[in-house]
């Protein structure tokens, strides 16, 4: 039962609970009319202290398609946070108006803090460079729908593995599936945080490889998870400029990949996937954005209705 629960870190949901959501999401995809009144009369608040396109709009679209309504802000400058109000007070207040709160905040741990002050469920839509659990639900639903199962595959994570919260959440979650090999492709400066290597990866004895060359490993991958270098989390602009174009996926590199490799990207893309790759049938990142709305419909209807 997910009703009334917060969703702050990916592993707050068991494997079985996630499977239930994916099952519900595929029912929604095939019979959307049966779900269109599930959240009638309910209100979702979306509080975005950081920019967003897909996460905020897919949550709002999900709520509207379930018959519910939305309120909130996309710009902290328009909220009382800009007058110096604490996060705790903002959350206590919004919890008086809404049935659930979706929040994105630049500070790691902000969603957990919010959940301690909220009378209604809080869903983490990204807390700094830490976690982004509903992107993981999106990624896993995409893998399940396009490849038939989650597990028994070699997945390469490429780009900013240090600050990329979508990578952190996906690694944490995939580590508990069977037969997963992970290849981490990044410059040394942007490698995966130690807490993931010593935590879920070691605990589940996941087979991992580290490299700084995409060309060398692309032929081994079933899934390539590309990411943007997270400019907003760098302390130093020169360092960002030096690292920002470390990897660019183009047609030439795609010639080295398996015929059925799936390319995922949480988006937004900056430079790391050449536009010419969009035509390739292996490019799944816009489908992934659509699956994000369906899995959020499954999540919201389970938490709120
Ligand atoms: C990601 C994020 O916000 O972490 N975007 C998203 O939610 N789809 C990835 C990114 O910003 O690079």
299 in Cβ contact with 121 (< 8 Å): no
Ligand 1 pocket, mutate which of 58, 125, 126 (most atoms under 8 A from CB): 126
Nearest Cα to Cα of residue 167 among 64, 265, 302, 70? 265
Tens of pLDDT, residues 148-185: 999 999 999 999 999 999 999 999 999 999 999 999 99
Average pLDDT across the chain, whole number: 97
What's the angle, vertex CA 208, arms to CA 295 and CA 288, rounded to 5? 20
d(CA 159, CA 245): 9
Which atom of ligand 1 is least distant from the CA of 292?
8
Q: Catalytic amino acids?
A: 54-55, 83, 104, 132
For the Cβ of 134 lying below 6 angstroms from any atom of ligand 1, the answer is: no
How high is the pLDDT of residue 184? 98
Identify the residue whose C-alpha is closest to ligand 1 atom 7.
55
Tens of pLDDT, residues 57-108: 999 999 999 999 999 999 999 899 989 999 999 999 999 999 999 999 999 9
What spacing in Å lies between the alpha carbon of 267 and ligand 1's midpoint?
6
Backbone Cα Rg of the chain: 19
Extract the residue ranges of the chain whose pLDDT is less than 70.
none
Crossing angle of helices 133-147/165-174, nearest 10°?
60
What spacing in Å lies between the alpha carbon of 113 and ligand 1's midpoint?
21
d(CA 256, CA 181): 19
For the Cβ of 228 lying below 6 angstroms from any atom of ligand 1, the answer is: yes
For the Cβ of 58 lying below 6 angstroms from any atom of ligand 1, the answer is: no
Q: Could you tell me the two tokens for 280?
A: 């390739």
For the Cβ of 129 lying below 6 angstroms from any atom of ligand 1, the answer is: no
The dihedrals phi and psi of 86, each to the nearest 5 degrees, come to -75, 160
């Amino acid at each position: 039962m997910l009703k009334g629960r917060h969703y702050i870190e990916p592993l707050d949901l068991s494997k079985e609970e996630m499977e239930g959501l994916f099952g519900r999401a595929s029912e929604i995809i095939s019979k959307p009319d049966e779900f269109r009144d599930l959240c009638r009369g309910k209100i979702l608040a979306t509080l975005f202290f950081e920019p967003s396109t897909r996460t905020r709009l897919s949550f709002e679209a999900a709520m509207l398609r379930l018959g519910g309504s939305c309120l909130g802000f996309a710009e902290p400058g328009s909220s009382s946070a800009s007058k110096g109000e604490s996060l705790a007070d903002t959350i206590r207040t919004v919890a008086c108006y809404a049935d659930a709160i979706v929040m994105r905040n630049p500070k790691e741990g902000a969603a957990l803090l919010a959940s301690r002050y909220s009378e209604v469920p809080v869903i983490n839509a990204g807390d700094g460079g830490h976690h982004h659990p509903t992107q993981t639900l999106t990624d896993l639903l995409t893998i399940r729908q396009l490849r038939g199962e989650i597990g028994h595959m070699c997945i390469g994570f490429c780009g900013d593995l240090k600050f990329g919260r979508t990578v952190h959440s996906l690694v944490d979650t995939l580590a508990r599936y069977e037969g997963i090999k992970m290849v981490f492709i990044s410059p040394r400066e942007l490698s995966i945080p130690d807490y993931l290597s010593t935590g879920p990866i070691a605990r589940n004895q996941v087979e991992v490889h580290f490299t700084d060359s995409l060309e060398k490993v692309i032929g081994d991958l079933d899934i390539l998870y590309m990411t943007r270098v997270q400019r907003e989390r760098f302390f130093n602009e020169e360092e960002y400029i030096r690292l920002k174009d470390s990897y660019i996926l183009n047609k030439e590199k795609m010639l080295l990949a398996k015929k059925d490799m799936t390319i995922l990207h949480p988006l937004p893309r900056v430079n790391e996937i050449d536009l010419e790759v969009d035509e390739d049938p292996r490019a799944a990142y816009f489908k992934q954005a659509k699956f994000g709305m369906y899995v959020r419909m499954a999540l919201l209807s389970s938490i709120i209705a």
